[in-house]
A and B are shown apart, each in its own frame.
Chain A
Amino acid sequence: MLVLAIDAAREPAISILFRGNNFVRLLGGLWVTIRISMISAVLSIPLGILFGIFMMRKNPAAKAVSRVYLDFIRIMPQLVLLFIVYFGTTRAFGINLSGELSAIIVFVLWGTAEMGDLVRGALSSIPKHQYESAAALGMTPMEINIYVIIPQTLRRLIPLAINLITRMIKTTSLIVLIGVVEVLKTGQQIIDANRFAFPTAALPIYGVIFFLYFFTCWPISLLAKYLEKRWKN
Chain B
Amino acid sequence: MDWTFIQEYIPMYVEAGELTLTIGILGIILSILIGMIASAIEYYKIPVLRQIVSIYVELSRNTPLLVQLFFLYFGLPKIGIRWSSELCGIVGLSFLGGSYMTEAFRSGLETVEPIQKESALSLGFTPLETMIDVILPQALAVTVPSLVANVIFLIKETSVFSGIALADLMYVAKDLIGLYYKTPEALSMLVLAYLIILLPVSIIGTLLERRLRYAGFGN
Contact = CB atoms under 8 A, between A and B. Distances in A.
Interface in A162-218: 166, 170-171, 173-174, 176-177, 184, 187, 191, 199-203, 205-207, 209-210, 213-214, 217-218
A206 B71 contact: yes
A221 B62 contact: yes
B157 interface: yes
Given A218-B58, A221-B62, A199 B78 contact: yes
A76 B63 contact: no
| Interface residue tally on B, bucketed by range | 35 or more
B190 A83 contact: yes
A173 B184 contact: no
A68 B76 CA distance: 42
B41 interface: no
A126 to B, nearest CB: 20
Contacts of B25: none
Nearest to B158: A77
Interface residues of A, number: 40
B179 to A, nearest CB: 13
Nearest to A79: B159
Contact of B190 (A80, A174, A187, A200): A80
Contacts of B67: 173, 184, 206, 209-210, 213
A72 B68 CA distance: 27
B162 interface: yes
Contact of A77 (B59, B77, B156, B202): B156
Contacts of B195: 75
A90 interface: yes
B68 A210 contact: yes
B114 interface: no
Contacts of B183: 87-88, 90-91
Nearest to B170: A79
B176 to A, nearest CB: 10
Nearest to A216: B62
Nearest to A71: B202
Contacts of B132: none
A173 B70 CA distance: 11
Contacts of A191: 74
Contact of B64 (A84, A90, A213): A213
B79 interface: yes
Nearest to A169: B64
B64 A80 contact: no
A23 B29 CA distance: 38
A82 to B, nearest CB: 10
Interface string B68-90: 10110011111100000000000
A217 B184 CA distance: 36
A13 interface: yes
Contacts of A13: 78
Interface string A1-42: 000000000000100000000000000000000000000000
A92 interface: yes
Given A84-B187, A203-B76, A75 B202 contact: yes
Contacts of A170: 62-64
5 contacts: A77-B194, A87-B177, A184-B66, A191-B74, A202-B75
